Amino acid sequence: MHDEPIDPFNGDPADPTAGLDDPGDDTTPDPLTDVERQDVLEDLADLEIYQALLAPIGVRGLVIECEDCREPHYFDWDLLRGNLRHLLNSGRPRVHEPAYDPDPDHYVTWDYARGYADGVHDTLTEGTEDDPDPGTATTAD
Part of the chain binding Zn ion (CB under 5 A), chosen from 9-17, 18-26, 89-97, 105-113: 89-97
Taking the CA atoms of 54, 57, 61 and 64 in sequence, report the sign of the dihedral they define.
negative
Residue 37 vs 96, nearer CB to Zn ion:
96
Q: Is 102 in the site for Zn ion (CB under 5 A)?
A: no
- Select from 4, 21, 34, 68 the one that contacts Zn ion (CB under 5 A): 68
Q: How far apart are CA 80 and CA 94, in angstroms?
A: 10
Q: Is 67 in the site for Zn ion (CB under 5 A)?
A: no
Q: Is 55 in the site for Zn ion (CB under 5 A)?
A: no
Q: H helices within the chain, ranges in order?
A: 34-54, 77-90, 110-125
43 contacts 113 by C-beta, under 8 angstroms? no
The footprint of Zn ion (CB under 5 A) covers: 66, 68-69, 96
